[in-house]
Amino acid sequence: MSRVVSMRLREEEADRLLKLSRRLRRSVSETAALLITEKLRGVEFPLIEFRGSPLGRQAYVKGTSLAVWEVVLVARQLGMDARRVAEHLEWQEERVQAALNYAEAYPEEAEPFVSEAEGVTFERMERRLPWLERVSV
């Protein structure tokens, strides 16, 4: 469900929005909606920011190189214990908790990436890379 909201921008800001929409290969409307959504989420979760990545725009933990879904991937292996994850990553626990809180609020974002990463097997990877070699030492 979405609603049309009109807004007035200064000429300069409108030009920048147009340029960004071209770079993101989205319409101006989509780009404006994306920016507003990301900003609103950033207000709600101050330790989360959004960055472009090879997987598209994603939520990252500020000041780190990890996307939210990557923190969740680690957390799942450590019993979803923010303290253990923080120790493992050598982060402040607040950062880990912020990622887990964000993932809980927007599970549709992190879950597909976490599931795919957890489901990686030699057989599935070999379909993408036929020259892949299995090794066990």
Q: Which is nearer to other proteins, 32 or 61 (CB)?
A: 61
Candidate list 1, 5, 43, 129; residue touching other proteins; CB under 8 A: 129
Q: How far is residue 26's CA from residue 38's CA, in Å, rounded to a whole number?
A: 15
First to last CA, the chain: 52
Instruction: Draw the binding track, 73-92, toward other proteins (x: CB under 8 A; -: no contact).
Output: xx--xx-----x---x----
Contacting range for other proteins; rule: CB under 8 A; set: 18-26, 28-36, 92-100, 117-125: 117-125
* Minimal distance, residue 118 CB to other proteins, in Å: 6
Q: Are 95 and 88 in contact (CB under 8 A)?
A: no
Residue 27 binds other proteins, judged by CB under 8 A: no
Six-digit token pair at 48? 């989360």
Residue 26 binds other proteins, judged by CB under 8 A: no
Residues with Cβ < 8 Å from 89, sequence gap 6 or more? 64, 66, 71, 74, 96
Candidate list 6, 55, 90, 108; residue touching other proteins; CB under 8 A: 55
**CA-CA distances (angstroms) from residue 56 to 34, 40, 106?**
12, 19, 16
Instruction: Please give the size of the binding site for other proteins, defined by CB under 8 A.
Output: 26
Q: What is the DSSP string of 96-119?
A: HHHHHHHHHH-HHHHHHHHHHHHT
- Chain contacts with other proteins (rule: CB under 8 A): 54-55, 73-74, 77-78, 84, 88, 113, 116-118, 120-122, 125-126, 128-129, 131-137
